[in-house]
Structures are given as structure tokens and as C-alpha cells.
Amino acid sequence: MQKSTLSVIALCAAAVASPAAAEKTKFEYWYGLDGYLGEVVQQTCARFNESQDDYEITCVGQGGYATAVQNTIAAFRANQHPTIVQAYDAGTADLMLSGQFYPVQQMMADFDIDVDWDDYFPGISNYYASSKGELFSMPFNSSTAVMYINYDDLKAAGIDTAPATWEEFDTAIRAIKANGKACPYAYAPDSWVDLEQFSMAHNVPVASNDNGYSDINSELLFNTTLHVRHMEDIIRWKDEGLLQIRTTQGGLNTRDSFAQGECSFYFGSIAGHQTVTNTAPADMTWGVAMLPVFEGTERHNTVVGGASLWVLAGKTEEEYRGAAAYLKFLATPESEKFWASNTGYIPVTRTGFESLVEEGFYNNPPYKGREVALESLTYTKPNNLTRGIRLGGFIQIRSEWNNEVQAALAGQKTMQEALDTAVARGNAAIAKFARTYKGKQFP
């Protein structure tokens, strides 16, 4: 009897001592979201860790999208990079040609994890896929730009409906100003909204070669398109006191200026919907609508923003199994509902979206209106100009646009001069990228 008991104890001790039984496979995930949205990312990580006993993910905030990409590049040199990184849309081209990643569609197949890739909305998945349709990274926090509207201010100015055209928007902000509102439109330069989403909705190019998709040796064109007219309107509205520049450097940003009722309109990501919900006065009547288009223009789909999850090269098979398990966890309708409920982001799959529609998710506040983003993304089938932008050096291109537009807003040059300079400097960044990857093309 005693011998039997000792044998059982010995067996138990051996099991506890076994590394396979005692230790979970640990791996890191670096993400760029910060503030409230970063907190929700941490919750997804905690939910995954609690859902199973084999893996432990450590999620590390990097304080911004650009910082996440830059820190990952630096970490690669020291062989201290994470297994997964959340990389925003502007970093897609650089990551694709770097080759330092494990394509998620291939990884999931390698580990016999069944994913219905056709279930992903094409307007979202195409941005992160090869020319043959293979997904290189996993769509995660997906968004598009929308117009935020204070309907109380609009009604007080004698207008009943949200402006659908830029001409109607001009009329609306003039009426709101005439009614005594000091800030009809909160504005801060944002190439993602003012250039990229605007160009998609109007079906005009940002760059040659199908916005860079068909050749890495491309040239920017946005100083010759309807974008110029739009940005000259921005200058005019500023000069006429119809918009106020709102940045964190000067106090409240555009979103918070809107949420606190100071300004009647702002344009931004649908991801801000939850933050506005959390901070706007309870008696404020507000909502979102698709971006306006110029009269006489046929509206097209806008493009996905946000970020995707890239699995990086140089890790062990067990770490990859953990990464695959985490991505599978995120792809479930339950996880998509959690993410959509706690942020303004939209589901990335038809199944996830349709399950929310069926249960009436979008019928009432605080979620009502978030479906507008998906309506905008799927308004038309993406074509060669509206499927996205694939330019090397795109992070720098955005920075050049922002710097030059700020100079124009400060009165240092005309808007045309600013856009011409942004194009010239952006083209230099593209040319440098093309030299770095000479002889290569996007897969």
C-alpha cells in the first residue's frame, strides 16, 4: 500500500517536472494602438491566455503605429523581434518586400487550421494579400474614415440631413457659423482622410501604376487631381473662419473638440466612435455618415485603414503554433463581437458582421452608426484605383504631405506649391525604395 502510494507520488512529481506539462510556450506581440484602444488589445490578449493552457502571449504596446514598425526593424537587427507585430497600412509595402515574415495563410495551412479566407471582405483582405490573393498578414483592426456630425447644431441651423456632397457641406458649415457657432468644423491635417480616403471615394489616383500595385517604380499624382480642389477648399474655409485647426498641441484634438460639443463636424476613423460615445454629453444628438463627394462625382468605395497582424520570420515552430492559435482565436465570431463592442472597429468577415446584424447589434446606441463604415468600404467593388495604395516609403510620403499642408495652412505657401513639394519629396522616397529593392516587384 505504501509502495503504491509512493509510486503515485513519484509519477505526479515527474509529470510536474516535465517541461511540456509545466511550461506554456511563450511568445510576444507588439502593437501600435495606445490609449483606450491599447487597453482593449490587452484585454484580447488576456482572454486568449485564459481560453487555453498551451500558450502565453505577452502583448507589448509600442506607443504608436510608426513606432511599432520602427522598433520591430531595430529589434530584427538584434534578433529580439516579436513573433507578431501589428503593422499599419502604410507599412505594408515595406514588410512585403522585406521577406521577413511568415505568410499567415500559409502558416494556418501548415498547422492544419481551417480558415475560410473567402469570408473576409475583399475591400479589407485585398490590401494585405499578394497579387494572387494569398493573405500575407491577418486583418485585425479595420476601419475607414467617416464624417462625424452634431445633429443638434445642424438642426439649429435649419438643416435636416447630413451633407452628402462637399457643396452641401459648404452650405452646412456656413449655416452653422451664421447661427452663432464659433467652430463649425474641427480640422487637423490627415493624409489618411484628406488624401487617401478622399481619392478612393472619388476614384482618382494617388500615384501612377495603379497606386503602386503594378510597379514599385511609381510616381505620385495627387498634385494634379481633385485632391487639389479639396485642399484649396480647406484653406478657404480656414480663412473664412468656417473651420478651426484643432490639434493636441493647441489643446483639444478634432475628436475631443467634437465630443465636447465645441465643434459641429470632424472627419476621422470609425475607430473613434467608442471614444466619442464615452465622452460626449448624454443629451448630445450626433452620428456618422460617409465622406461627402463633389457633385457630379460617382461615389466609390473607401479603403481599409487600421492595421493587420504580421507573423515575423526567425521564430520556433512552437512559437508559430502559438501565433496561429492566437490568430484563430481572434477570427471567431465571438472575438469579433468583443472587438466591435469595445471599439469602433468593424468586423473583418461577413460571418462576423452578419451575426451582429442578426442580433440587432447596430440598431441602437452605442453601436448604431458603426455599420456606416462597412457600407462605405463596400459601396462599390474595389477597382485598380480603390483597392488601396502600395507604395514604398509610404510612411515618409504621409509625413511629407502633412508637413507641407501645415506650411500652407500657416500661410507660408500656396496649397498647390505645398502639394507640388510633397509630391517631389515623396517621389524621392519611392525612388529610394525602388533602388533598395532593385529588380523586385510586389508579389
Q: Residue 176 has what pLDDT?
A: 98
Distance CA 365, CA 134 (A): 37
Q: Residue 116 has what pLDDT?
A: 92
Pairing of strands 145-150, 84-88: unpaired
Please return the burial class of 418, using the count of CB atoms within 10 Å of its CB with bins 0-12, 13-18 and 19+: buried
Does the N-terminal peptide bond of residue 139 adopt cis geometry, omega within 30 degrees of 0?
no
pLDDT of 228-255, one tens digit each? Answer: 999 999 999 999 999 999 987 667 999 9
Question: Are the beta carbons of 376 and 291 closer than 8 angstroms?
Answer: yes
308: which strand partners? Answer: 87, 139
Do 145-302+392-436 and 26-143+305-358 have the same topology in CATH? yes
CA distances from 56 to 37, 92, 245, 384 (A): 21, 27, 44, 41
| Residue with the three cell numbers 492544419 | 112
pLDDT of 356-373, one tens digit each? Answer: 999 999 998 899 999 999
CA distances from 40 to 33, 221, 438 (A): 9, 38, 41
CA distances from 142 to 116, 267, 441 (A): 18, 17, 26
- Mind listing the pLDDT tens digit of every residue in the chain (443 residues)? 333 333 333 333 334 444 445 589 999 999 999 988 999 999 999 999 999 999 999 999 999 988 998 899 889 888 999 999 999 888 888 888 888 999 999 999 999 999 999 999 888 888 888 888 899 999 998 899 999 999 999 999 999 999 999 999 999 999 999 999 999 999 999 999 999 999 999 999 999 999 999 999 999 999 999 999 999 999 999 999 999 999 876 679 999 999 999 999 999 999 999 899 999 999 999 999 999 999 999 999 999 988 999 999 999 999 999 999 999 999 988 999 999 988 888 889 999 999 999 999 999 889 999 999 999 999 999 999 999 999 999 999 999 999 999 999 999 999 999 999 999 999 999 999 999 999 888 88
E strands in 54-210: 55-61, 84-88, 138-143, 145-150, 183-187
Q: Which residues contact 59 (CB under 8 A, 6 or more apart)?
A: 28, 29, 30, 31, 41, 42, 44, 45
E strands in 164-300: 183-187, 243-245, 263-269, 286-289
Which CATH architecture does the domain made up of 145-302+392-436 adopt? 3-Layer(aba) Sandwich (3.40)
| Residue with the three cell numbers 462576423 | 352
List the domain boundaries for the chain: 26-143+305-358, 145-302+392-436
The domain over range 26-143+305-358 is classified in CATH as 2.60.40.1480: no
Nearest CA-CA partner of 69 in 81, 56, 55: 81
